[in-house]
Amino acid sequence: MHLLRNEIGRIDGLRYVVDQMDFCSSVGRRALLDTLWMVEKDRIEDALSSVELYISYLSDSNKQRAMSELAIALSYLKDVNGSIMRLNAAGKGLTDIDLFELKGLALINERVSALRSGYALNLPELPDLSAMLDLLDPDGARVSSFYVADSYDPLLAGLRKQFREAESDDEREKLAIACNEREDFIRIRLGSEIYPYKDRLLCSLEILAANDFNLAKARLAVSRRWKRPSVADCGKTILRRMQNPELASLLQEKGERFQPVSIDLEAEPTVITGANMSGKSVLLKTIVLMQTLTQFGFYLPVDDAQIVPVDEIIVSIGDSQDIYSGLSSYGAEMKCLDYLIKTVKNGANVLAVIDEPARTTNPTEGLCIVNGLITILAKYNVRAVISTHYSGIVCKGARWRVKGFMEDRVSYPLEVNNLNKCIDYALEKDTDCQVPHEAIRIAEIMGIEPELIENCKYFLNKG
């Protein structure tokens, strides 16, 4: 069972997206982190439709005030799950803090219900807690504070009156004890009377938390102009002009612009080639993020997208060295590929994203490993994206090449930190089994020692 909180450390860029969200309460954030990975098309569409509803209200001048009032109401939401779970038929064990928290939840429930009906909002219907709220608010003041008031019990009111009028310390002490005992009796009575509302309270807390995180998703989508992806049971995954939101933000801070990239992914291996520094790793991470966001019900930083849901995303990007288990980068990578193949053979529908497999071994064996892997993935119709530096890759699926280094963009002298300005990160269809040779030319333009460049060219031509 995949929860969003478990994927944050695994999916690059997901933490950034969550951190950019404007939640009204910590309860909403926690509920989002406990969101389950969705595989069924209908469930994903329902989640996206919930976000779309809030977007429509945020964009409607007649509903914007309702959204502001809703945000204020939700800002008072607290995690009262502990107080709810302490409710029992005998009514014992509740403190004034518990009763205060339960009353607070009921007040928010009432306020949001009033907003829902008053502004004709098509939000999930909340349970009716009015009778329970009356129990905790016998004077009908509808304030969030709670104490055991005189109006709960004539006997308690009489004891308190006697306490105030008592003249001796001994008499006041006896009356104080009597008042405390009577207050405890009333708390138990209230607990037993509130107990039948336990399920409604849990339901209310869940719905209000969902209101919070769906509003936060909508705010994020509106502020960033993200788009709703379509969801397909099968066929192509299509990503049109997708952006990596974290990298785009970093570039924007430096006055630069992220170049959007488009790609189609069939249920087959897709091979991506390109020189170093051509953005292949960022591309793969962004594909993974788009898939993940969709299956957790987010809008996407794209112009358009169609996503085919998968049971699992299996990722091998970056240095996989596992110092805790003693595995080298190669060993950790092989364990990941072994898991991938076993998972596929067991019938799971996966998205496999693998960045330069077998890059840490010798080129001869590395090429064989990549071809062997692609052959298996093709056999089982696995939707996979594989970047590589190896020439001679045997692939019946799609081939894409990063356009890469554009010499006409060079401003001399070429500095390392300006290299990205000379790269065209767009993808183009490729039919060539040979990977592009750009590294030596880039080094030459950078002014690297000429003798080294000449030697490199000699061995390249000789090979």
**pLDDT tens digits along 252-264:** 998 888 989 999 9
The yes-or-no verdict on residue 328 having pLDDT over 90 is no
Cα(260)–Cα(248) distance, integer angstroms: 9
pLDDT of residue 324: 43
Give the Cα-Cα-Cα angle 81, 83, 87 (nearest 5 degrees).
Answer: 110
- Dihedral of alpha carbons 75, 2, 5, 283, sign: negative
Q: Which DSSP symbol is given to 3?
A: B
pLDDT of residue 58: 96
Lowest mean pLDDT of 17-31, 186-200, 376-390, 424-438, name the range: 424-438
pLDDT of residue 323: 40
Sequence ranges of the domains in the chain = 4-218, 226-435
pLDDT of residue 462: 74
Domain 226-435 in the same topology as domain 4-218:
no
pLDDT of residue 398: 86
pLDDT of residue 435: 64
Residue with tokens 């695994």, as numbered in its chain: 10
Candidates 364, 396, 403, 363; CA nearest to 377 is: 396
pLDDT of residue 408: 58
Higher pLDDT, 448 or 88: 88
How many residues are recorded in the chain?
463
pLDDT of residue 60: 94
Question: For residue range 343-385, what is the model confidence (pLDDT) as tens digits?
Answer: 999 999 999 999 988 887 888 888 888 899 999 999 999 999 9
Question: For residue range 146-162, what is the model confidence (pLDDT) as tens digits?
Answer: 989 999 889 999 999 99
The yes-or-no verdict on residue 167 having pLDDT over 90 is no
Candidates 456, 384, 452, 397; CA nearest to 430 is: 397
pLDDT of residue 417: 57
Lowest mean pLDDT of 88-97, 200-209, 311-320, name the range: 311-320
Mean residue pLDDT of the chain comes to: 89
The yes-or-no verdict on residue 204 having pLDDT over 70 is yes
Cα(92)–Cα(86) distance, integer angstroms: 9
Question: For residue range 4-60, what is the model confidence (pLDDT) as tens digits?
Answer: 999 998 999 999 999 999 999 999 999 999 999 999 999 999 999 999 999 999 999
Tell whether omega for the bond before 127 is within 30 degrees of 0, i.e. cis: no
pLDDT of residue 453: 80
C-alpha pair distances (Å), 249 with each of 20, 142, 223, 287: 11, 45, 13, 17
pLDDT of residue 320: 47
Take residue 73 and report the two structure tokens written for it: 């109401």
Candidates 44, 119, 108, 85; CA nearest to 297 is: 44
Q: Which DSSP symbol is given to 285?
A: H
pLDDT of residue 321: 43
The yes-or-no verdict on residue 436 having pLDDT over 70 is no
Considering the segment(s) 4-218 as one domain, its CATH architecture is Orthogonal Bundle (1.10)
Confidence tier at 326 by pLDDT (50, 70, 90): very low
Mean pLDDT of 189-199: 95
Candidates 286, 158, 300, 155; CA nearest to 220 is: 300
Give me the torsion for CA of 347, 353, 356, 361, rounded to 10°: -40
Domain 226-435, classified CATH 3.90.1150.10, yes or no: no
How many CA atoms within 13 Å lie on the side-chain side of 7? Answer: 27
Question: For residue range 120-156, what is the model confidence (pLDDT) as tens digits?
Answer: 999 999 999 999 999 999 988 899 899 899 998 899 9
Higher pLDDT, 441 or 187: 187
Mean pLDDT of 90-115: 94
pLDDT of residue 48: 98
Q: What Rg do the C-alpha atoms of the chain give, in angstroms?
A: 31
Centre a 10 Å sphere on the Cβ of residue 440 and count the other Cβ atoms it contains. Answer: 18
